[in-house]
Amino acid sequence: MRSTAGNAELALLLEVASTPKPGNVDRHREYPDLRFEHFLAGAVGAREGLAAATDASVGLGEAFRRAVEGMADQRGGNTQFGAVLLLVPLVRAAATDECSPAAATRMVEETTVEDAANFYRAFEYVDVAVRDPPEGMEPLDVRRGADAVEHLRDRSITLAEVMELAAGRDGVAAEWTGGFERTFRAGTVIADGEGPVPDRAAETYLWLLSREPDTFVATNHGQRVAHSVMVRAQEAREGGPDLVEAFAESLVEDGINPGTTADVTAGGLFVALERDGIDV
């Protein structure tokens, strides 16, 4: 029987193995400097930090920092930063209470200033695309890494409060502050599906992308492009496999990567593995 950390690692592996996954690295598509193998290595590297998340004596932020440090031990750079961030409270909830929205929300509410400090330190391992902070919040720009920790402590800002500040512009932060609604819905869709789990994950990914603009796309390309990608995902789902494949090719060619949708898919896979024991 797999451990909770094992299910989290497997969720990362199944997510990248699913195809077609328009705009994201999968078994059939990759970018010149970001390849399938980098994601496999990132998932394996994150395992130690994910295991630390099962230990209630380890801060959630510290577990995340360790997972990102391990994930970064490959040549592709940032492979699963957002997915790991989404998984850590889910793993803690599953290991110490239950894998439910209420339990995961309690894990978020219990985070501390030191958790926030370790979250910021994790940004020193890889480059992460984030939007500029609101005016007046520049000292708390996450891209400052450890240099921002003093400001966090001066203001007594917990990791939950950091997520609240980002929730309006970041889909993973919105999951942290919104009861992990999309993540658990994705888990149900995957668990209720039929066929190989990577195929279910790919279908769920496209379903998620067709329902809400991807915040990672919005960060890198603007809200108009993010909305257009959502509409095109809706059309691709209605048009069938050939149109989905063409959509996938076009996003890769244009360098449009709906990374937040992939993160939520990974979280949904973990929920399906942990709660529903889907057969892999």
d(CA 277, CA 280): 9
pLDDT of residue 148: 95
Residue 279 lies in a domain: no
Which tens digits make up the pLDDT trace of 221-271?
Answer: 999 999 999 999 999 999 999 999 999 999 999 999 999 999 999 999 999
Strands (E), the chain: none
**With 90 as the cut, is the pLDDT of residue 135 above it?**
no
- Domains identified in the chain, total number: 1
The structure's pTM equals: 0.97
Which tens digits make up the pLDDT trace of 27-80?
Answer: 999 999 999 999 999 999 999 999 999 999 999 999 999 999 999 999 999 999
| Residue of 68 and 135 predicted with greater confidence | 68
Q: CA separation (Å) from 182 to 56, 223, 261?
A: 25, 20, 10
CATH number (domain holding residue 34) = 1.10.4200.10
Residue 221 lies in a domain: yes
Q: CA separation (Å) from 229 to 24, 52, 67, 223, 234?
A: 13, 36, 30, 10, 9
Cα 127 to the chain's mean position, in Å? Answer: 15
Q: In degrees, to the nearest 5, what angle opens at C-alpha 68 toward C-alphas 266 and 265?
A: 10
**With 90 as the cut, is the pLDDT of residue 279 above it?**
no
Residue 280 lies in a domain: no
Cα 196 to the chain's mean position, in Å? Answer: 22
pLDDT of residue 72: 98
Closest CA relative to residue 81, chosen from 208, 263, 205, 275: 263
Residues 168-196, mean pLDDT to the nearest whole number:
97
Which tens digits make up the pLDDT trace of 78-119?
Answer: 999 999 999 999 999 999 999 999 999 999 999 999 999 999
Instruction: Find the domain containing 138 and state its range.
Output: 4-273
Residue 205 lies in a domain: yes
Residue 278 lies in a domain: no
Residue 1: which pLDDT band, with cuts at 50, 70 and 90? confident
Residue 276: which pLDDT band, with cuts at 50, 70 and 90? confident
